Chain A
């Protein structure tokens, strides 16, 4: 089978290099970074860190080169979903496309360009060290399930999950993938922007009682929006937040959004807190705190243009 990774950044590279270990899978990667693409084609895609992997695959910055594929795995930042799938949709005319991106609304965007969509959430993380070389920081599970409004057949979801698992990325096929997705979105939306706005690490956010109460206010709104859609979270985001605050887990971790803000890079706020606000609006659930945080982080981005 042919699988194309759309957006071969850190997370996309983890899927690409691991899937390339399988004899029965031909892996393609579509990415706009010419240097990354050239390095992958010349020397393979190298992962180091919690796993040492070199994957041989075909990378391209030209979507016209992509063959018809059985699966797409979209791993771009959420603000690039539309452009990425518009460019590559032709390769998935007969296939299924999964998202493993952050935030809400990616499935909806994919569904405007391709027929069969797979909702997904992934926890592994890393960062690009140099073109062709990615540091794998964290291992973790991936959950895939058919997108309700334009589903991929469940056997296809299972086939992709099986390939990922065999390749070294443990992946579960489930009938309703919204629970893990909303758990992760609520976690991210309630903690990442707080770090970005204050400059504090996750642990320092959590040890200030008044700030931790604000985090809980955001979590409570997110849970209400999930509940209004009949989504059952697979675990309580509050527990994850407290767990991550432990010194041995992620006390000193600077949220990725804080790193984005420090580097003046566009954040995924529109798809995190903005997504919670939009879904809340659709289902009649007020989300004033998420709306406030959304506007503040957008304000941070606007300040870079002043």
Chain B
């Protein structure tokens, strides 16, 4: 059986760990000792789109866990550097897969060891109800592609493993087109939601009248598309079409950055919009709208104190 270590047991990490435990030997690396103890004692319960409880072996100390074949680093982007630093010197035979929002997670992780790396982005979502219970809300795909020291076959193997666990996954020979599509979508929808308090719904696709929110959303996506084009990335999906499709389905999604702002937590603005703005500067593409939203969200974070 494949041995998988899920590093970081937030919502996404918990969903990976519980599902994969049905088809692999799963260990969970937590930040807190008491979280590990709770997981060892109670297992990990999934509700929502699937209902089951999985047994996992958890610890806050990587050296006390058996050597894995695959490490899924599933923390928020803002915690990535610190988490992978704890893995330095461990698991030399394992492949590391990053699933953070934004760009550059692979580079951040790769600094701490020579592991082969897989790139991934995930669209699935859930709500964490406790250390040992996670609700599976959106059963959308995780996309995986090769990065340093890995091949498309490695990406396919990881995607097949995840798909066999009951989650949705797909492999790409080159993840960048999909990663950039998601980046542009996320940078736009998350920042607009964080500033307006408006969950992602039909308002985001309204373009009939001057001043409609959809016009701003489309403008932000056009800026992102210009950056992708300058970076030589042919997008996998048009982010505006992703937006229209998602809102047409009629449901209302609360993006993570909106949840962060409501709870007065630091957001992922630096990793998501920040990485787009920095790429834009690198390729000399003007992005005045993304820049405006970037400084507004940073200022909103500053208003917490």
Contacts and interface: CB of A to CB of B under 8 A. Distances in A.
A288 B219 contact: yes
Nearest to A304: B197
Interface string B222-241: 00000000000000000000
Nearest to A293: B292
Contact of A208 (B219, B252, B289, B299): B299
Contacts of B203: 299, 302
B23 interface: no
A281 interface: yes
Interface in B267-303: 288-289, 291-293, 295-296, 298-300, 302-303
A200 B302 contact: yes
Interface in B158-213: 192, 195-199, 201, 203, 210-213
A286 to B, nearest CB: 11
B216 interface: yes
A217 interface: yes
Contacts of A187: none
A235 to B, nearest CB: 26
A298 B295 contact: no
Contacts of A208: 295, 298-299, 302
Contacts of A200: 299, 302-303
A194 interface: yes
Contacts of A303: 196-199
B127 to A, nearest CB: 18
Interface stretch (A30-38, A151-159, A270-278): A270-278
B57 interface: no
A194 B296 contact: yes
A211 interface: yes
B215 interface: yes
Chain B contact patch, size range: 20 to 34
A213 B288 CA distance: 11
A295 B213 contact: yes
A194 B192 CA distance: 14
Contacts of B299: 194, 198, 200, 205, 208, 211
A198 B303 contact: yes
Nearest to A205: B299
Contacts of A50: none
Chain A contact patch, size range: 20 to 34
Given A200-B303, A210-B298, A303-B197, A292 B210 contact: no
Contacts of B252: 306
A214 B295 contact: yes
Contacts of B212: 295, 298
Contacts of B210: 274, 277-278, 281, 291
A197 interface: yes
B219 A294 contact: no
Nearest to B215: A295
B198 A204 contact: no
B288 A199 contact: no
A298 B195 CA distance: 11
A240 interface: no
A289 interface: yes
Which 7 pairs of residues, A with B, have the shortest CB-CB distance? A299-B196, A199-B303, A303-B197, A295-B216, A198-B299, A303-B198, A210-B295
16 contacts: A208-B298, A208-B299, A214-B291, A214-B296, A288-B288, A289-B288, A291-B210, A295-B211, A296-B213, A298-B213, A299-B198, A299-B213, A302-B203, A302-B213, A303-B196, A306-B198
Interface of A: 194, 197-200, 204-205, 208, 210-211, 213-214, 217, 270, 274, 277-278, 281, 288-289, 291-296, 298-300, 302-303, 306
